[in-house]
Every structure is written in C-alpha cells, then in structure tokens.
Amino acid sequence: MNHRFLLIAAGIAGAALMTAAPARAETVLNIGIAAADLGTLDPHRAATTQDKASIGWMFNGLVRFKPGSMDPEQIEPDLAEKWETSSDQLTWTFHLRKGVQCNSGFGELTAEDVVYSLKRAADPKTSAFSSDYTDVTDVSASDPYTVQIKFAKHQPSVLGLLTNYQGGNIVCKKAVEKLGEDFRTKAVGTGPFAVAEYNPTQSITLTANKNYFRGAPKIDKIVYRYIQSDASRDLAYTSGEIDLIYGRQDQTWAERMKSQPHTVVDVFGPGELSTIYLNTTSKPLDDIRVRQAIAYAVDRAELVKFKGELTARPAVSVVPHGYLGTDEQAPILPHDVAKAKQLLTEAGHPDGISVKAIQTQLPTMLNTMQIVQAELKKAGIDLQLEVVDHPTFHAQIRKDLSQLVMYSAARLPVADVYLTQFFHSRSIVGTPTAVTNFSHCGMADKEIDGARAETDIAKQKALWKEAQDKLVQEVCAVPLYEQLQVWAHRDKLDFGYKLDASLTLGPIINETTTLKQ
C-alpha cells in the first residue's frame, strides 16, 4: 500500500472534519424587567427604569462614568479621547476618537453627530432633560473630530452633563432623521449593542456591535423581556428562562433570591432618596417649631427596618449619600417623640395639629407614608392622606396643593443638581421657573449660586455643605431613607467589573461582560 497516499488522504479527511466543526454556540443573555412594555429607546426622552437600563447598553457619551461607578471625580474618556478648557472654564473643546461607527450601518460618528445630539438634548421639544443645558450658549464643530461647547456661566460639573447619562448620550444624526417616529423603538447609538427587533408588550432583542471601538462584546445577543408581574418574573428566573432579573426593592425578595442556587443578588447605587418636603408658607408649617416637631417624630431606623437593611439605608442629608458635595454629617434632628410634643406645645398646639398630604397610590411610596403617618400620630400630629393615582399625584403636587410632599428621586450625583431642583427659589412650584421646590425654601440661594460659580473644588464643597446645613436647620424637608437598586443574576454571568452603582438603574452590559454556557 502507498503510505504516502494514506498520509495525504488522512490529511484531507482531517481538514474536512475541521471545516465541518460546528461554530461556537450563540451566547444569549435573557433579562427580565418589571414593565408591561417599552416606553422609549430615545435616550433624550427615556425617564423610566426599564428604558434607562436598556439604553445603557446602546449609547456612549463624550465621557463616561466608569462601569460600576457613579463617582463624578472619576469620569473618564468615552467618545472623546481628550479635552481642554479655557481659563474661565466657559469654553470646552473635545477631541473625538476616529473610526467610531454608528450602529445599523449609519456610518462613522463625527463632530456633526455630537453637535446635533447636544442641541437636540437641549431642546425641550425633543428632550426631557433640556433644563440641564440651559447655560449652553453654543455647540459647534471646528473639524470632523473636534467639538467646542460654550457656556454662559460656570457649571459645577460640565463633564457630568456630557456623560453617558440622559441628555449626554450621543445619538447618530442620520439615524434620527431617517427613522423619525420609529426612532423610539429603533434608536441608534454607538454602544456595544444595537436594536435588532421589538415585539410590543413582549421584548426587545439587541445584538452585539462587532465593530464596537472598545472591542467586540463576548455576548452575542440580549433578549430583554417585559414581565410586569413580580410572580411571573420570579418564576421565569427560577425556571431558568432568564439569567438577570430586576428585583423588588425589599428585604424579603433579596433574602429569598440569595437562597436560590447559583444566584448573586446585586444591591447597588444610586440610592433613591425619599424625603418629606414641608410647605413652609402653609400654616401651621410656617412655624419652625412645628416643622421641628415633625422631624423629631419621624423614626428613620423604623423606616429602614421596614424597607429592609439589605436594600435601604438612612438618609444622611437633604442630598443623597455619595454625591459630590454631600454633607455626610448634616445636622438632621434625631427621633424624639417627647421633644416633638414639647415643641408643639410651645408653638401653641398642646392638643396637636392636623396636616394634609396628597399621596400617590404606588405601593412602595404609599406604605412609606403610612408608616410616617403612624409615627407622627404618636406625637399628636394627624397626617391626613389623600390617595390618588400616580399621574394625578405628580400634577397636583406641582400645583402646590399639598402641605407635605413625599418625593423619591435620584439625580446626577453632584450636590448642585439636587440643591437647585429641590431648594433654590427659582425652582419653587407655582412659579414660571418651577421645578420641584415643594418647600418654598430659598434661604440657601446664595450658597447654591456661589458654589455654581466657584472654580476651586474645596471652596465649592464648603458652600454646598453650608447650603445643606441651612436647609436642614430650617427643616425645609425631612430626609427619610435611600432605597437602593436591587437585581439578581446567575453566577455564570460576570459583568466584568465591580458593580457599586449605575445611573442607568441597571447593570451595564458591555464588551467585558461574559456568560458561561
């Protein structure tokens, strides 16, 4: 027999076997979110948790928060490689990466896209976050890879406005113009994943951007399922249908999921600060002794115990924990029922008082206010709740119809944003420039404005601290607790980073994320 022939034949057969070997199995990440359907994938309009989470996988900003972080002092380059600013910090110049591709075949991202996107984010007709950019006077491109942004006055955090968060997410101009109304369900960015399919009330499917400038994702596809029922979503997880699940923000759910095999429970920031804002122009709340009595009557420890110490933490100030400029030791009044009763007597109300609050029927917010109602009653304060649906709640509190407003929020993690929106006189509800100042407090305007203009970070932080201390001492609001984000995932899923916080309110899935088969 011709051995040379046999060797050649064996080599050909081996090559054929190698050619016929099956390709790597597609890696699909299945995620369950608590929602009935998609709201919008347009990053300049998305305001709900279910939309923000998915947008975090699709878009980039000029700069970004490190994955797993929300620390403004650690913002790093994203679409921009580098930047510089004028001596007065009113003009910022960003130099873009070259070769970054818009998803879905819309070509290279250039300065024209960035200019278009930022102007769109600043336009109230096309953006829910336009108020963040009111001080922007001009956005222009000096060449295809250079963008210049000018401001009317100094900003406390220019980079914060330009991160991969809300209006800072960069959209691709050609895609917006071509898709029109369809951009809501087919939004196009430059991120690690792109929209492939939308099934109304069922799911959206995202596919990996193999040309992603940071490297091709290791996960090929994300199926993001809308499962509004908590029970159905939990069952989908325990039966193995989904790998990553949006959880309930309560201790019982977290503990139960921790007991599931091969499961990791993720509890992370930002904490949504729940606060009771007191209308200081409404009797009897115009008397600081009455406001102090309410503050003394509230028991934060009891509220945190009810919400669960795994998923909630006591408030530290009228600005959430961990923000740039938060006074972590603000002089919040402690729980003291006897002191509350004494102050009411001194204010001329020995038999107690009655106050009214319009309250949303959303269970997580309503049960908080019902606990507060019981706590106040022990001090002789009758809190009367008028329970309405959530849209009506938002409409009526903005018409200044409630003496007390319990509001929960997380914002860009810079003290200025919270202080300006909730405590500056320009933001008082019922005025032409109203935002969410339900307390009608404006005594810290000087410090808030001073911090905005200050270029020395140490002095800026000192002014923010002074503003918070004034507001706490005047009891403009009673901060309660912070509710953290709660998700869970199978241990075969590795995000590729340490998850401490995510401003998209969900884990970032990117090119570092892996899912073992």
Which domains, and CATH codes, for the chain?
28-243+492-515 (3.40.190.10), 270-484 (3.10.105.10)
Which of left, alpha, beta for 26 (phi over 0: left; psi -120 to 50: alpha)? beta
Least Cα distance to 312 among 361, 369, 373, 269 occurs for: 269
Least Cα distance to 62 among 89, 85, 94 occurs for: 94
Angstrom distance (rounded) from CA 381 to CA 404: 13
User: 283-290 long-range CB contacts below 8 Å, 24 or more apart?
Assistant: 284/347, 284/349, 284/353, 284/355, 285/355, 285/403, 285/404, 287/347, 288/474, 288/475, 289/343, 289/344, 289/346, 289/347, 290/343, 290/344, 290/347, 290/349, 290/353
Q: What is the pLDDT along the chain (517 residues), one digit of tens a residue?
A: 444 444 444 444 444 444 555 666 899 999 999 999 999 999 999 988 889 999 999 999 999 999 999 998 899 999 999 999 999 999 999 999 999 999 999 999 999 999 999 999 999 999 989 988 989 999 999 999 999 999 999 888 899 999 999 999 999 999 999 999 999 999 999 999 999 999 999 999 999 999 999 999 999 999 999 999 999 999 999 999 999 999 988 889 999 999 999 999 999 999 999 999 999 999 999 999 999 999 999 999 999 999 998 999 999 999 999 899 999 999 999 999 999 999 999 999 999 999 999 999 988 899 999 999 999 999 999 999 999 998 899 999 999 999 999 999 888 899 999 999 999 999 999 999 888 999 999 999 999 999 998 888 999 999 999 999 999 999 999 999 999 999 999 999 999 999 999 999 999 999 999 999 8
Cβ-based burial of 516 (10 A; exposed 0-12, middle 13-18, buried ≥19): exposed
Asked whether the beta carbons of 239 and 282 are under 8 A apart, the reply is: no
- At 411 the pLDDT is 86
pTM of the predicted protein model: 0.84
Is the previous residue joined to 270 through a cis bond, with omega within 30 degrees of 0?
A: yes
Angstrom distance (rounded) from CA 106 to CA 451: 42
- At 23 the pLDDT is 64
- At 362 the pLDDT is 85
**Structure tokens that stand for 363 in this block:** 């269970």
- At 13 the pLDDT is 46
Q: Tokens 């930002």: give the residue.
A: 270
Q: Tokens 């960015």: give the residue.
A: 189
